[in-house]
Each structure stands twice: as C-alpha cells, then as structure tokens.
A and B are shown apart, each in its own frame.
Chain A
C-alpha cells in the first residue's frame, strides 16, 4: 500500500509539474509558423492531454491511499462514505477538490487548443495554462508538511508553494526543449533552428533565476522541517533530504555544462551547430532523468515524518562541541588559525572560478587550504558521541520523574557515586577509575542522550555497569532527570532573595497540583502569563509568614503573580489546619505536595546543612527559578518585609523575556 501511495504521489508530481513546464516551454519558444515548430507544438499538445489524464488519475489514487491511511484499513476503498467524509471534512479533502477542479478546467482549456488562430490566442492559451497549473500545484503546499509549521506558518506555505511552481516551470520545460533541439538537429528540421536556439537561450536565463528560487525556498523548507544537524544526518527524513540535495547538485553540474554548449549552437552548419544541438538535447534528457529521481525523493519525503518530530539516531562516534573552546587558549588559537585558513581557501576557490588564467592551480590551492584549515580547527572540538546522543528524553523534567529518579539513584547509583553525587561512595573506592563526580560542571556539557547511553550500556573501562537490562527506558530517563536536578541544585546555591540580572539558566522543574476537588493544574500552565511564588511551608513555623502573605495576596496577585503554597508534610487536610483567620485564598496544595517537596528540597539547600522548614521561590513568566528566600538566612535583604518581595516581583514583571523557555533536555 505504501509503495502504491508513493508511486501515485510520484506520478502526480511528475504529471502536474510536467504540465506546468510544458506551458512555460511553449511560452518561452513563442509562436512560429515553420513546419518543424508546428509539429513540435502539436506533439506538446498531445503530451499535455496525456499529462492531464495522468494527473487526474494519480490524484484519485492518492485520495484512495489517503482514505486507507485515515481509516486504517484497505476496506475504506470500497466505502463511498469514507471518501465523502475525507473530501468534505478534512483540509486534505478541500485542497484536493480545489486542485482537481483546477486540473479539470485545465483539461477543458487544452481541448480548446484547436481554436488557436492569432498571436493573442496563443499567448492567452499558454499563460492561462501555466497559471492554472501553477495554482493547482502551489496549492499542494496547503496539504503538506508546510501547513503544520509553527511559527511562521505563512512563510512556510509561501516558500513551499514557490518551490513547487519554480520546480515545475524548470523541470517540466526540459522534455519539450530536448525534443525541440533533437528535431532541429536533423536535416529535415533545419527550418526551426533559429527558433530552437532562441528558445534555449531564453530558458537558460530563466532557469538560472528559477534555480535560485528553488535553492532558497528549498533550504528554508529544509530548515523548517529538519532544523538541526543531528536531525539531518540522524533521521530518515534528513537522509532523504540529503539524497535530494545530492541529486540537485548533480543536476546543477549538468546544467552548468549545458550552458557552456550554448555558444556552439549558433555555430555554422553541419560541423558545429547540429552536433552541439544533438549533444545538448541528450544532456538535457540526462538532467530530466535526474529531475525525475528528485521528484521520487520528494514524493517519499511527503510521506515521511519530518525530522523535527523524530528522535535522531547519531551515526558517528564523535560530534563537534564548542564547550572545549572556553577551556583552553590553545584550542582557541587553533580554531582561530584554522578558520582563517579555511576562509582564505574558500576565497581562493571563488576567485579561481572567476578568473581564466591558472584557474586549476588557484582552485586546487584554495581547496587544499580549506581542507587544511578545517583539519586544524575541528579535531579539538570533537567529543565522543553515541547513537543516542541526540535522543530526546521521553519523560519530561518534572517533579514526579525527579522523585522516581532520586529513589532509583539511592539504591543503584549512590553506593559508588555517593549519596550527594560527588563520586565518593564506598563501592567506588576499589575501582581502577574513580566514579565520576556527577555535580561537577562537566555533567552539564553532556547531552541527556550521552547519559542515557552510559546508563544503558555502562562504561567498560571504568567499571560502570550497564542498566539497560534492569531498568526500563522510563526509569533511565527518570534517573537522568534526577541528575539534571542534582546539577541544577548545585547551581541553585547561588540563588538569593534578590533577582539576579542576566540570562536565567535554572529551569523550574514542572509539577502538577490540585486544591481539593478542583482539577489539577501544572506549573507550565502559568508560563507566559503569570509569575509564581512557590512557598514550601511547615506548620507551625510558617504560620505568621502565611498570614502575612494572605494579607498581601491581593496586591501580589495584582502584580501578575500567583502564590502556590505547598505543605512540606503533604497533609491532605492542610486547609482545615490553616483555619479561618485570616482567610487564605491562594492555592494551598492538597494533592501532589509530596512530589513537589521531594524535588524542590534539592533546591532549598544553602551553605547550612539543615534543610529549611520554609522556603519561597520566585519563578518568572518563562518558567525559570529566579530568586529564593528562607527565613533562616538572616542576612539582609530578606522577604520578611513583603515590600522587598514585591520589589523583586516588579523587576521580573518589567523584564523583557530573554531567550527561549527552559527546554526538556539537559543543556
């Protein structure tokens, strides 16, 4: 079924884009009364008829395949109501109807061809045909991956539509031009030679512009659907994209070679002009073959999940990381020298392409310099990588997961890595290589996928055992989330009652909570709209502070901040214990408190060892932890006076968002 769907899409693309190009080729060539030219136009007319039939038939087939995909079984083919539903109540159906309506109209237009009498007729017919075909093909963008791009969806649609129209105008014109050249290269077709040469000259200019459009829009689309290097080389979609680009580069090389033949076309008679025409017609046919292959890949891409939505599988044993640059001045110097050399080499290659004398020498030297420059600059940046390096965590960085991870850590990891992650557990003492200090800054330089690989497969040289058999995948991600929280907790020691300026780095782990029977909410839901004052409290110590917050709640809420109070003993009857006076109206968590406390206690540690009984965190609108206060730390400034707290809230309120919200993965 997939093979059939793929074939249908390919035929549809070939016929639809081919139609577009037949009209553009005829537009370029113009009208001529010479017998060979007339024969050529008649041949194109019959081709257009076949292509319209092909595009409509493959369109129906595509619709059928879509029906099967949507219904999830091949019975749908025989069910008319399924077809009707697909057509009338899906975006795919609407676009399909509009497009095939336009193709039907195009069919009618083609039947009218015989009425062509004057120049005006010819131009009107060709322009109309091209325009109908262009709109029908451009509309495909609205039923493809581009329609799902967020944000900048409008640009994605426009770019995809332009890509389709430009591609059609270019590759569809290849076949008629090859036919024209072949006809003109024979003895009998000598009368159409000037006509053919003019057409091919015009096409050469147009094709250069079209290529520019195809490449720009293509790169934009690739960026929108793949985005990153790991996604490009680590997923099926990315691989197909690379194949498509390689084929296009080959077609471009052929096109450049073809351009060089152009001057010879107008050469004289039998010896120069005619052989050149025949050769050019063959080269163009070669270009066409490559174009058909490209369309095959494009059809496969339209049926493949875009790379952005897949977890890449990294195929190399290393990756380039800029983390090493900051560490060593030697590496910085190598990077600088190598980059300069590569840049000069690139410049030499470009200059070499433009000059005539000693071209080979200059380009060769330039290429050598590029290779040498990259050879100097890149090796120090390479760090070990594994197939899972860019795998995305399937378990979100949230309190429940961190709690699970913490429990797993205590039983599985703490014996060697130590209870605090310092690598000082008793089990690690006898090992050849001491267990890693998991709180050291280097932990943050590994991707979550790296950690996942080590936990799954172990590190043979150091005695780290594999856990792939004993822990489920979710459990391993829980562990990684805990390690991330552990590293973050180390950084959190710097949190103070005063908001630190500059780019925030500490993402607040997400959590869900409920107050009584109200539906549960998550911290993430506040993002973009509310700041959150997260209060971990214990009775009776926190009593007076809660009263203070209760009285100030209206003002705090008015400045765009929600207060979420979490009892550290996780008592579900906590609201009753808090009592009636003064009325506390902010959310007091009765469900989910234990998980929140377990995860956030990691962040309450300051220099003193005893965990605080009452801690308040300020989370900004993007979801970063920005300030912290505990009544124990007596040094001013303190939030004991609510005015100080409100001043900090005001700073956060007026701050412009810097950078993206915290991601789900380590880094």
Chain B
C-alpha cells in the first residue's frame, strides 16, 4: 500500500474513533435522561418530610401557616413560605416566633402540613 494512502486510512480511523466516542457520549446522555424520567416517576408518589421552622404568621381564614423553615430535601431550599394545614386544630395555640418541627405530606407540589410539634420553648 502507498504510504499516503496509509496515512489517509489512519486519519479515517481517527475520525471514526471520534464518531464512535461521540455516539457513546450520546448513549450516556440518553441513559441519563431515562434515569431522570424514572426519578420523576418516583416523585409522583406521596412523600413525607419533617423539618424545623419558626412560625412567622398564622392565617386561619386561608388555613395557612407561614414559617421560615430549613431546607426541605428534594422540594425546596430554606425560605419563608406559607403551607396549607390539613386540620385547623394543628395550629391552635401556636405563637408567633415559636420554633416547631412540622411534617409535610403529599405529592409534589401539592403538600399539606399534617403535624406540628413544638420544638420546646421559644427560639434556640
């Protein structure tokens, strides 16, 4: 075989290698997307979180308690946020500024507070 042809062949092989690598990368992307879809499917089932927060406001007319809360893993970061409460009795006698441990239940993004437990005293 002539040398220049051999060189050409070598470049072709290199190009082919690049192409195969590109395809492999694409396949990995597809797999990642599938994983993501599977994870989303899983998120559709009801989940429960229990986190701490400080009570900022109680709005009985809307059945909502507003809290400044910790990170809620997989749902939202720490912020001041109002949550619907399952049963008005849960926030009876709750004081502003009180630190509580509350439980959220539901299918994202429709969650409600199903339990509120006083974390003892006022603020830490």
A interface, CB within 8 angstroms of B? 105, 108-109, 112-113, 115-118, 120-121, 123-125, 128, 515-519, 572-580, 583-587, 590
**Could you say which of A108, A113, A516, A580 contacts B99, with CB atoms under 8 Å apart?**
A516
A120: nearest residue on chain B (CB-CB)?
B4
Count residues of B near A (Cβ-Cβ below 8 Å): 34
Cβ–Cβ contact A515 & B10, under 8 A? no
Q: Which of B33-41, B64-72, B109-117 contacts A (4 or more CB under 8 A)?
A: B64-72
Give Cα A115 to B2, complex, Å: 7
B97: interface (CB < 8 Å): yes
Give Cα A578 to B96, complex, Å: 8
Known: A575-B54, A587-B80. A517 touches B8 (CB 8 A): no
Quick one: which of B42-75 are within 8 Å of A by CB? 52-54, 56-59, 66, 68-71
Cβ–Cβ contact B97 & A577, under 8 A? yes
B8: nearest residue on chain A (CB-CB)?
A124
Q: Chain B residues near A118: list those with CB within 8 A.
A: 2, 4
Binary A-proximity of B92-111 (CB < 8 A = 1, otherwise 0) = 00011111000000000000
Cβ–Cβ contact A575 & B97, under 8 A? yes
Would you give 12 A-B contacts (Cβ < 8 Å), ordered by A?
A108-B10, A109-B7, A115-B3, A516-B53, A517-B53, A517-B70, A517-B119, A518-B79, A573-B123, A576-B96, A590-B54, A590-B123
Cβ–Cβ contact A585 & B54, under 8 A? no
Cβ–Cβ contact A519 & B10, under 8 A? no
**Could you say which of A113, A128, A519, A587 contacts B70, with CB atoms under 8 Å apart?**
A519
Give Cα A138 to B106, complex, Å: 54
**Could you say which of A576, A578, A585, A587 contacts B98, with CB atoms under 8 Å apart?**
A576
Known: A124-B3, A572-B123. A583 touches B57 (CB 8 A): yes
Known: A516-B68, A573-B122, A580-B57. A115 touches B6 (CB 8 A): yes
**Could you say which of A117, A519, A574, A585 contacts B56, with CB atoms under 8 Å apart?**
A585
Give Cα A108 to B122, complex, Å: 76
Cβ–Cβ contact B56 & A583, under 8 A? yes
Q: Chain A residues near B122: list those with CB within 8 A.
A: 572-573, 576
Q: Chain A residues near B78: list those with CB within 8 A.
A: 518-519
Q: Chain A residues near B71: list those with CB within 8 A.
A: 519
Give Cα A572 to B123, complex, Å: 6
Quick one: which of B6-41 are within 8 Å of A by CB? 6-8, 10-11, 14
A367 shortest CB reach to chain B, Å: 53
Q: Chain A residues near B123: list those with CB within 8 A.
A: 516, 572-573, 575-576, 590
B54: nearest residue on chain A (CB-CB)?
A516
**Could you say which of B1, B3, B66, B97 contacts A573, with CB atoms under 8 Å apart?**
B97
Cβ–Cβ contact B98 & A112, under 8 A? no
A503 shortest CB reach to chain B, Å: 34
Q: Chain B residues near A518: list those with CB within 8 A.
A: 53-54, 68-70, 78-79
B25 shortest CB reach to chain A, Å: 12
Cβ–Cβ contact B54 & A121, under 8 A? no
B95: nearest residue on chain A (CB-CB)?
A576
Give Cα A69 to B74, complex, Å: 37
**Could you say which of B1, B53, B58, B70 contacts A580, with CB atoms under 8 Å apart?**
B58
Known: A124-B4, A516-B68, A517-B124. A575 touches B10 (CB 8 A): no
Q: Chain B residues near A590: list those with CB within 8 A.
A: 54, 123
Give Cα A108 to B95, complex, Å: 79
Give Cα A113 to B124, complex, Å: 79
Cβ–Cβ contact A578 & B97, under 8 A? yes
Give Cα A128 to B8, complex, Å: 9
Cβ–Cβ contact A117 & B70, under 8 A? no
Cβ–Cβ contact B66 & A585, under 8 A? yes
